[in-house]
Amino acid sequence: MNKVRRLAEDLVNRYPALFGADFDKNKQALSQVSVIRTRSVRNQLAGAITKIMHERTPTAAEQTESDEGATIEDRVQLQRGATPSSSAAVNSDESSKQESDESSERPASKTESIENAAAIAG
């Protein structure tokens, strides 16, 4: 592994809250953490840290895959930074059972099927 990459990994592990996915902010954060004498080394470190932080943050597709079973309340709590409560998980299990029971009944017309779909989604 490259020395710059190894040092960047070490800095990110030591100060995870200090660094992010923004190159310019990482350059400023490096000046708080260490003394770097040359601009090129600082830029290489900031770039490596930025790359590491991009690798560690999930993409939108990965987030939707992990959120597929979550309820809307769970998703809101996750966006706010809170962990979903266990009671919400129980409620989501119960609601999914109700949805499966409702979906097993055949609607008499297309209008009823649209109304049922809207009721389940809403």
Residue 8 belongs to a domain: yes
Would you say 10 and 24 are in contact if contact means Cβ atoms under 8 Å apart?
no
* Residues 77 and 115 occupy one common structural domain: yes
Domain limits at 11?
Answer: 3-57
Give me the average pLDDT of each 10-residue run along the chain (122 residues): 90 93 94 92 95 83 60 66 52 52 53 60 54
Residue 86 identity: S
| Boundary of a domain, candidates 18, 33, 57 | 57
The two tokens of residue 1 are 């592994």
Q: Is residue 66 part of a domain?
A: no
Number of domains in the chain: 2
Q: Taking the CA atoms of 88, 91, 97 and 99 in sequence, report the sign of the dihedral they define.
A: negative
Q: Is the pTM of this model over 0.85?
A: no
* pLDDT for the residue 96: 52
**Domain containing residue 48: CATH number:** 1.10.60.20
User: Do 53 and 7 lie in a common domain?
Assistant: yes
Whether 92 maps to a domain, the answer reads: yes
